[in-house]
Structure 1
């Protein structure tokens, strides 16, 4: 057996204290496919469609070629277990803006600061590497835990899109939130 046959450690694009963010690959198709069928994840993200493995493999392939965004998996540093995903998407170079989304898949991983840390890592990348001026997100009004997380990270509410999602026999509002580069720098890059 040569050195190439040994399992290589996962690539860590962005690394925090508890989690790291790594690129998604076709080898992650089954993992990503299975997360799309967790009932609570589907509810919190408003996912109504059903997907097959081939569609997911194609989605991952398209995302890896997409220059207007970055899709990463969130993994625990302690054991490399993937607990969610995060994406910086719809990047507009002229306006220097983008949209961010995140999902922490299992309830056992929620409320432990993993999502907040992953958001801060991606915000640092967006404002520091991609030179963005504005990063926005949408969160459904019934996802109060996510709203608190986004506010704690530094996002500000801008408005409400009324009845934007029809899910489980009801219409739901979506809350638009954003962060600007100077707000990020003031909050996280203060001189020590």
Structure 2
């Protein structure tokens, strides 16, 4: 499936709410470790903050018809250390296993390394999401360590893998 990334804007609030959060996909919430179902007001406030935050580049993952499929975020951008965090969500499980996450990840890494001249991008992935971990490895991320029993969801503790990719690894890959 062809996708493109575009920066989240205030004008996207209604569609973002409708597609991702009005009737949320429970699998998407589980795989992202989300336990709170936000209200439309909370989403509106979140978008207002996200679009004005210099330490965040929040992209929407869109189909070629420009429909929102999910989001990818470069966050906690640290210009001094040239690093940032990364997160991604595909809003509907009907779009899982179609390569959308991989393509969006690669596009976001191009922005991080080529446009923003960052050196390092890191993420966290949960032990119950081996599909995502495999996709991150395919995109070039390396496992750095494990935070044991760091996430408590559905009455269980889970390990959290720390992964990162460096600019030179991305350029070589």
Equivalent residue number for residue 91 of structure 2: 105
Indicate the SS of the match to 1:95. coil
Deviation at 1:146, TM superposition (A): 0.3
- Alignment map for 1:67-146 (pairs within 5 Å): 67-77=54-64, 79-146=65-132
CA distance in 2, matches of 1:172, 1:100: 20
Q: Does 1:24 find its partner at 2:11?
A: no
CA distance in 2, matches of 1:130, 1:39: 34
Indicate the SS of the match to 1:101. strand
- Where relative contact order (Cα < 8 A, 6+ residues apart) is larger, the structure is 2
CA distance in 1, matches of 2:13, 2:40: 7
Indicate the SS of the match to 1:137. strand
- Please list the CA deviations of residues 53-109 of structure 1 after superposition, one character each: whole Å capped at 9, or x if unmatched: 1111111011110111111110111x2221100000001111101001111122221
Which ranges of structure 1 fall in alignment gaps of 5 or more residues? Answer: 1-16, 188-192
Deviation at 1:171, TM superposition (A): 0.8
CA distance in 2, matches of 1:92, 1:81: 31
Indicate the SS of the match to 2:88. strand
With structure 2 as the length reference, what TM-score do the two structures score?
A: 0.93
Q: Does 1:48 find its partner at 2:35?
A: yes
With structure 1 as the length reference, what TM-score do the two structures score?
A: 0.84
Matched-pair contact (CA < 8 Å) for 2:86–2:123: yes
Equivalent residue number for residue 14 of structure 1: none
Which ranges of structure 2 fall in alignment gaps of 5 or more residues? Answer: none
Matched-pair contact (CA < 8 Å) for 2:28–2:93: no
Aligned length: 170
* Aligned equivalent of 2:17, options 28, 33, 45: 33
CA distance in 2, matches of 1:58, 1:99: 21
* Aligned equivalent of 1:151, options 113, 127, 137: 137
* Aligned equivalent of 2:159, options 163, 173, 186: 173
